[in-house]
A = this chain, B = another copy of it.
Amino acid sequence: MTAASTPKGERRRQALVEAAAELLVERGFDAVRHRAVAERAGLPLSSTTYYFGSLDELVAAAVEHHGRAELVRGSALLAALPTQPRGVDAVVDLVLDQLLGPPAGERDAELVLLRYERLVATFRRPYLRPLMHVLGAELRGLLLEVFTRSGMEFDARRVEQVIAIVDGAVVNALIEINTDPRGVARRMLHEFLAP
């Protein structure tokens, strides 16, 4: 159903979005240029402006691409999560899974970074705001459910605190040479939830 039934135009558009999304993680917002995207997608330069009215649109699509993928993954994790009381250690990891994505791998740091780059970048790119709000709301929903299924009665305010702790920890860890944002956040969140 993918290759066969997806209209060709839609496939090319998708290829551009993916190319842009890759550049976004690898080299940041500044790297998402018409030329770079087209080359990576193996498509002519003008296809970028054909499928996207402006570079901003393409950037937004790339941000959304990542955001959606993260939410899909988060939802999947949640769907597989039985409702049962859990200890702090377990909950902390579930929270990090939702907030920072999969535990590790090659580009762990880059992928985590992107979550904060886009937050900060939104300030100077108002066109990202609506998208970021939607993404943020869905993430919070997921997180709330994680707590619920773990037997913890957290309200929205408490969830917000958890998010703040994790994000604050990560943002400050970003300047380390061999940064381990996940590790730092885990420690901090653990202390917070089990003082």
User: Interface stretch among A13-21, A33-41, A53-61, A170-178?
Assistant: A170-178
Secondary structure type dominating chain A contacts = helix
Does B171 contact A167, Cβ atoms closer than 8 Å? Answer: yes
Give the docked Cα–Cα distance between A59 and B160 (Å): 34
Q: How many copies does the complex hold?
A: 4
Does A171 contact B116, Cβ atoms closer than 8 Å? Answer: yes
Q: Please, which residues of chain B bring their CB within 8 A of the CB of A122?
A: 174-175
A136 and B192 in contact, given A30-B30, A116-B120, A129-B177 (Cβ under 8 angstroms): no
Interface size classification for chain A: 35 or more
Q: Please, which residues of chain B bring their CB within 8 A of the CB of A72?
A: none
Contact with B along A134-173 (1 / 0, CB 8 A): 0010000000000000000000010011011111110110
A119 and B172 in contact, given A28-B124, A124-B28, A177-B129 (Cβ under 8 angstroms): yes
Give the docked Cα–Cα distance between A192 and B117 (Å): 26
Chain A residues with a Cβ under 8 A of chain B: 27-28, 30, 109, 113, 116-117, 119-120, 122-124, 128-129, 132-133, 136, 157, 160-161, 163-169, 171-172, 174-175, 177, 179, 188, 191-192
